[in-house]
Structure 1
Amino acid sequence: MTTNGFILHDATTADPASSAILDQVQAGWGFVPNLHRVLAESPAALEAYGTLWGIAEKTSFTPVERNVVYLAIIFENACTYCMAGHTNLSKMAKVDPAVIAAIRAGDAIADPRLQALRTFAATVTRERGMVSASEVAAFKAAGYDNRAMLDVLVLAATKLISNYTNHFADTPNDAFMKGAEWTAPIDLKHAA
């Protein structure tokens, strides 16, 4: 059980609709991440997250760009669970370790195009989509377009479900996250 009484479900304890999804996750990943086990409390939430995750793979972003966006959003949402997980997923996607380290630390990325992507994704998250004309212009000047702006929203929606779930439940890290633990450098509860 997690903080606030969330159960780490498995296929035997979850609602039958969630159990079927957990079985698919097990088959695809080789294990069921604790995030999915928490989400299994709500078949709708579990399905929504899985569906958005799949749709995110169809965005205009390369795997490296997709991971930069995810990490930027996770940083803004201060999700320790997702930062640990996506750090290792980013390594698997061949994201430069210096890029990963910069985002985790809140520092600038040396690559100007990736920095523009990271800045835009962070701004969208922090400002709840209310970006200025100059912020849009800077994003487009880096070579991105309206499609990319909307694709950022797909990734933000995906992370909203996972980041907020992890805040509710204080989801414990999975074994594969060992060595990628992270402490948010800001306390968002008191930043507002």
Structure 2
Amino acid sequence: MSQPRYPAPTLDQVPEDIRARILEVQEKAGFVPNVFLALARRPAEWRAFFAYHDALMLKEEGSLTKGDREMIVTATSAANNCLYCVVAHGAILRIYEKKPLVADQVAVNHRKADITPRQRAMLDFAMKVCLRAQEIEDADFDALHAHGFSDEDIWDIASITAFFGLSNRIANFSGMMPNPEFYLMGRVPKQK
């Protein structure tokens, strides 16, 4: 595995607000996901990145579940060839959906994945935003409305796709690698 191109700061080198957030994540996950320290080398950008991340991924409004959101990230990150995001968000997807195979299926070919027709339509749209956004037309909205998505849900699908396009590119150019812990999460029972 390659080494990151930019050295990550240590916890004692980051501002207190960022350190506190990282420690919260560590407490919950049992480890510090590499993205938290990798991006902390630029504190202002770290704060902006995670503020937008949280606005998209933790919001309560709308019909997208946490699993739906992670499914969008996993599928589009695979299209962008982002190992870090496919592995990390695939792990979270497996946990939210309680399906140990779903992340691999969605990353390789969402059309053959064990997902609902609603989720398939959601990912069809996300992939179009990811790869051919200039071709989006009213018929794409109609297809999502037929599955009960509101215009605000559609905005969320597109925004998650676009935000993680940024994230994928940062992870790729910087050489960010997934933590080993992500590979088994949601596949095997958690050790007590």
TM-score after normalising by structure 2: 0.80
Distance 1:173 1:98, change over 3 A: closer
Q: CA shift at 1:167, angstroms?
A: 0.9
In structure 1, what residue type is equivalent to 2:160? Answer: L
Q: CA shift at 1:123, angstroms?
A: 0.9
The 5 Å alignment of 1:6-17 reads 6-14=6-14, 16=15
Q: CA shift at 1:26, angstroms?
A: 1.7
How far apart are the structure 2 equivalents of 1:99 and 1:115?
12
Distance 1:177 1:49, change over 3 A: same
Q: Structure 2: 5+ residue runs without aligned partners?
A: 186-192
Match of 2:67 in 1: 64
Q: CA shift at 1:103, angstroms?
A: 0.9
Match of 2:189 in 1: none
Q: Contact between 1:2 and 1:169, CA under 8 Å: does it hold in 2?
A: no
Question: How many residues are aligned here?
Answer: 176
Q: Structure 1: 5+ residue runs without aligned partners?
A: 181-192
How far apart are the structure 1 equivalents of 2:9 and 2:40?
6
SS at match of 1:137: helix
Q: Contact between 2:91 and 2:184, CA under 8 Å: does it hold in 1?
A: no
Q: CA shift at 1:98, angstroms?
A: 4.5
Q: CA shift at 1:107, angstroms?
A: 4.0
Q: CA shift at 1:179, angstroms?
A: 4.3
Match of 1:126 in 2: 131
Q: Contact between 2:91 and 2:103, CA under 8 Å: does it hold in 1?
A: no
Would you say 1:104 and 2:112 are equivalent positions?
A: no
Match of 2:44 in 1: 44
The 5 Å alignment of 1:69-80 reads 69-80=72-83
Would you say 1:54 and 2:54 are equivalent positions?
A: yes
Q: CA shift at 1:49, angstroms?
A: 2.0
Q: CA shift at 1:70, angstroms?
A: 1.6
Would you say 1:164 and 2:169 are equivalent positions?
A: yes
In structure 2, what residue type is equivalent to 1:78? Answer: N
Q: Deviations over 1:96-128 (max 9, x none)?
A: 344323212124135211100111111111124
Distance 1:34 1:28, change over 3 A: closer
Distance 1:3 1:25, change over 3 A: closer
Match of 1:24 in 2: 21
Would you say 1:175 and 2:180 are equivalent positions?
A: yes
TM-score after normalising by structure 1: 0.80
The 5 Å alignment of 1:76-91 reads 76-91=79-94
Match of 1:35 in 2: 35
